[in-house]
A and B are shown apart, each in its own frame.
Chain A
Amino acid sequence: MRTLLLDALLKGPLTEPAPAADDAELMALAAQLEGAARRRLGRGLAIRQVDAGSCNGCELEIHALSNAYYDLERFGLRFVASPRHADVLLVTGPVTANMREALLRTHAATPGPKWVVAAGSCACDGGMFAGSYACAGGVEAVLPVDLRIPGCPPSPATLLKGLIALLGR
């Protein structure tokens, strides 16, 4: 157990960085593979949600994505328990000063390629909490953001549209 902890602390994740996109040989191989991979493996994104200071309104609507009405998993989207398993960090809240480090560490623990989605008005630009001594004022202030889904809170339908758009990338 102690060895495992030490390894995790000192060696970091074993996941290798993604190959650079400008490697011509690799790109050609990828193009060949893409059709077959899509057919065989389908498309999927593993999502790790991080509450970085939300009022919990966004979380309730994110939860609703799993109910029978929205059934997120039929699109190949699923929530995972660990950032180590995630492709997407779905971040809510204006990023409080007290959650900043936890968010950065969660991001660092997520292997690439990865995307960051800012969900809700607070995550997009700080919302009503922009300017507070206790908030960074949105996810962008702390991490590069790939997709913004505004709304207070965004409805499950809006969240779903945003996440499906991300699948197309």
Chain B
Amino acid sequence: MPALFNVLASGRIRPDHRPWLRAEVDAALWCALAQQLAEGRWTLLGLWGDAGAVHMALLDATGGAVGVASLACADGTFPSVGRLHAPAQRLERTITDLFGLTPVDAPDTRPWLDHGRWPVSRPLAARPGAPEAAPYAFLPVEGEGLHEVAVGPVHAGIIEPGHFRFTANGEAVVRLEERLGYVHRGVEGLMAGASVAQGAALAGRVCGDSTVAYALAFARAVEAALGVAAPERAQWLRGLMAELERLANHIGDIGAVCNDAAFPRLLAPCAVLREQVLRAAEAGFGQRMMKDRIVPGGVTADLAPAGAARIRALVSTARAALPELISIYDGTASLQDRTAGTGFARPDLVARFGCGGFVGRASGRGFDARRVLPYAPYDALTFAVPVLDGGDVNARVWVRIKEVEQSLGLVTQMLDRMPEGPLGVDLPVPGAPCEGLALVEGFRGDVLAFVRLDAEGRIARCHLRDPSWFQWPVLEAAIEGNIIADFPLCNKSFNCAYAGVDL
């Protein structure tokens, strides 16, 4: 039995939670788990609020297990995890903003998502309050010769809105402070009371570039709650869509990172290749981004007859195009000069924050949900998880390049061995409240989905945790000592989600 389960077993195990373990714990065990997080025994997977309770999802990487600890907040407070373990801090601020629950002794009590612009405060609490607007206090920086540069939320390029407050000494960044929340749409509020079908559509609109990953995470959580599994063919089609999504994003990113190093020579061919991926996805599944194709129970669209051939043609095109693109990337000294050694993400920080995706894997953290907590169809496929330890922009580009190669191999394997059969199962009415948890590997890293259904099968609570919750803070550290002009480059190499974390 994984060590995490042994620790949680001293709490009250919830029988209606699947597929891993959720235990209701007391404050002492809650604090002990926070302490163990700080010691590096577990990795924080999520921390979210509920009506009068907080939940903390933990990963026991050595045992390949996930567990959730829940603490009832009788007086509206809970012992701060962020006090001991920094990755929890923004999640705790979010809990306060949405549910009004207060982390005791938290090191940072400023609001996070709530900018004082909503018609209510604590919108998800049983009794929301009146709006509270106060000026946001950025962290003070003192010293001779320092100046501040404020950027955003509206940026010069076509990117998502966020505010970056740089303190610089000459050109070198002394501190970056991020302020996000601009695209908070109230997804979790809309989820409460929604049908599973509406929930699936909402999940697919949390983060546009990861619509497949989010829909898959949501579907798997609902299926876990109901104790059903999608048919084999549906699982494989989901895998095919997930890899096409990964390909499109990675290829687009490689070009965009180079463009931010003033090298549009690679942006142009990568943008063309990305367009070809999206067109193949449209030929296969009827929609470029494959939105609304994955639903709890299965998939809504079969692979079109001409689609398989189109996707195979895409794989050949990509395999033919990649060597030249890679040699341009690797052989252009002026480009390497910008990417090598820039934006170094320290491996110890990456491990502590549990950074997923290419951010983690470029700094030696090899976690990949497809490998550590395997789900269909990946348990039946052959692929490598490329891990580098350079930690710089260059390493993050290289992890993407290697993952593109792996995804092309996965796509071919899935097309070769695609099982026949039905595309979906009907979802049963649960009859009693039930919950499910799922962890799915999107292109950016692991997406966590927690869903609780009521007895009629409607969504009582749904929490979706984007991988970027644990990547954004590391970007603040990685930019330190770099010049401001390299920020777009570093930022693009992380490519953190805004909509995904703002929800």
The complex places the Cα of A94 from the Cα of B185 at a distance, in Å, of: 8
Q: Mark A33-63, 1 if CB is under 8 A from B, else 0.
A: 0000000000000000111111111111111
Selecting from B74-82, B154-162, B425-433, the interface stretch reads: B154-162
Q: Does A153 contact B (CB under 8 A)?
A: yes
Q: Mark B139-173, 1 if CB is under 8 A from A, else 0.
A: 00000000000000110111111000000000000
Task: Tell me which residues across on chain B come within 8 A of A105, comparing CB atoms.
Answer: 154
Q: Does B190 contact A (CB under 8 A)?
A: yes
* Chain B nearest Cβ from A131, distance in angstroms: 8
The closest CB in chain A to the CB of B153 belongs to A102
The complex places the Cα of A54 from the Cα of B158 at a distance, in Å, of: 12
Contact indicator B189/A99 (Cβ below 8 Å):
no
Q: A residues 91-145 with Cβ under 8 Å of B? A: 93-94, 96-102, 105-106, 127-129, 131-135
* Chain B nearest Cβ from A129, distance in angstroms: 5
Q: Mark B483-503, 1 if CB is under 8 A from A, else 0.
A: 000000000000001110000
Query: Given B181, B183, B271, B278, which contacts A54 in the complex, CB threshold below 8 Å?
Result: B183
Contact indicator A152/B291 (Cβ below 8 Å):
yes
Contact indicator B182/A99 (Cβ below 8 Å):
yes
Contact indicator B205/A55 (Cβ below 8 Å):
yes
Task: Tell me which residues across on chain A come within 8 A of B117, comparing CB atoms.
Answer: 97-98, 100-101
Task: Tell me which residues across on chain A come within 8 A of B186, comparing CB atoms.
Answer: 129, 132-135
Contact indicator B185/A53 (Cβ below 8 Å):
yes
Report the tally of A-B residue pairs with Cβ distances under 8 A.
Answer: 138
Q: Does B118 contact A (CB under 8 A)?
A: yes
Count of B residues near A, CB < 8 Å?
46
The complex places the Cα of A117 from the Cα of B464 at a distance, in Å, of: 31
Contact indicator B182/A133 (Cβ below 8 Å):
no
Query: Given A83, A98, A106, A128, which contacts B183 in the complex, CB threshold below 8 Å?
Result: A98
Q: Does A64 contact B (CB under 8 A)?
A: yes
Contact indicator A58/B208 (Cβ below 8 Å):
yes
Task: Tell me which residues across on chain A come within 8 A of B275, comparing CB atoms.
Answer: 64, 67-69
Contact indicator B189/A56 (Cβ below 8 Å):
no
The closest CB in chain A to the CB of B158 belongs to A49
Contact indicator A57/B183 (Cβ below 8 Å):
no
* Chain B nearest Cβ from A135, distance in angstroms: 6
Task: Tell me which residues across on chain A come within 8 A of B184, comparing CB atoms.
Answer: 53, 96-98, 134
Q: How large is the interface on A (under 10, 10 to 19, 20 to 34, 35 or more residues)?
A: 35 or more
Contacts A66-B271, A97-B117, A133-B120; A56 near B160 (Cβ below 8 A): yes
Contact indicator A152/B182 (Cβ below 8 Å):
no
Contacts A59-B158, A96-B183, A134-B118; A128 near B205 (Cβ below 8 A): yes
Q: Mark B169-198, 1 if CB is under 8 A from A, else 0.
A: 000000000000111111101100000001
* Chain A nearest Cβ from B17, distance in angstroms: 28
Q: Does B90 contact A (CB under 8 A)?
A: no
By secondary structure, the B interface counts as: loop
Q: Does B221 contact A (CB under 8 A)?
A: no
Q: Does B201 contact A (CB under 8 A)?
A: yes
Contact indicator B182/A54 (Cβ below 8 Å):
no
Contacts A57-B291, A132-B189; A153 near B153 (Cβ below 8 A): no
Q: Does B289 contact A (CB under 8 A)?
A: yes
The closest CB in chain B to the CB of A101 belongs to B117
* Chain B nearest Cβ from A99, distance in angstroms: 5
Q: Does B312 contact A (CB under 8 A)?
A: no
The closest CB in chain A to the CB of B124 belongs to A133
Contacts A49-B158, A54-B499, A133-B118; A153 near B289 (Cβ below 8 A): yes
The complex places the Cα of A61 from the Cα of B211 at a distance, in Å, of: 14
Task: Tell me which residues across on chain A come within 8 A of B115, comparing CB atoms.
Answer: 97-98
Contact indicator A134/B123 (Cβ below 8 Å):
yes
Contacts A56-B207, A57-B291, A98-B182; A132 near B274 (Cβ below 8 A): no
The complex places the Cα of A108 from the Cα of B208 at a distance, in Å, of: 28
The complex places the Cα of A106 from the Cα of B275 at a distance, in Å, of: 30
Q: Does B434 contact A (CB under 8 A)?
A: no
Q: Does B272 contact A (CB under 8 A)?
A: yes
The closest CB in chain A to the CB of B183 belongs to A53
Query: Given A57, A79, A102, which contacts B208 in the complex, CB threshold below 8 Å?
Result: A57
Contact indicator A132/B190 (Cβ below 8 Å):
yes
Contact indicator B205/A67 (Cβ below 8 Å):
no
The closest CB in chain B to the CB of A120 belongs to B208
Q: Does B209 contact A (CB under 8 A)?
A: yes
Q: B residues 61-101 with Cβ under 8 Å of A? A: none
Listed by A's residue number, 6 A-B pairs whose Cβ atoms lie within 8 Å are: A51-B158, A53-B185, A57-B289, A59-B208, A96-B182, A129-B190
| Seed contacts A51-B159, A134-B123; 18 additional CB < 8 Å A-B pairs | A54-B499, A55-B499, A56-B160, A57-B211, A63-B252, A66-B271, A68-B268, A69-B272, A81-B157, A96-B182, A98-B113, A98-B183, A102-B153, A102-B154, A105-B154, A133-B186, A133-B189, A152-B291
Measuring CB to CB, which residues of chain B are less than 8 angstroms from any residue of chain A?
113, 115, 117-120, 123, 153-154, 156-161, 181-187, 189-190, 198, 201-202, 205-209, 211, 252, 268, 271-272, 274-275, 278, 288-289, 291, 497-499
Nearest 8 CB-CB pairs, A to B?
A57-B208, A81-B156, A134-B186, A132-B186, A56-B208, A67-B271, A55-B208, A97-B117
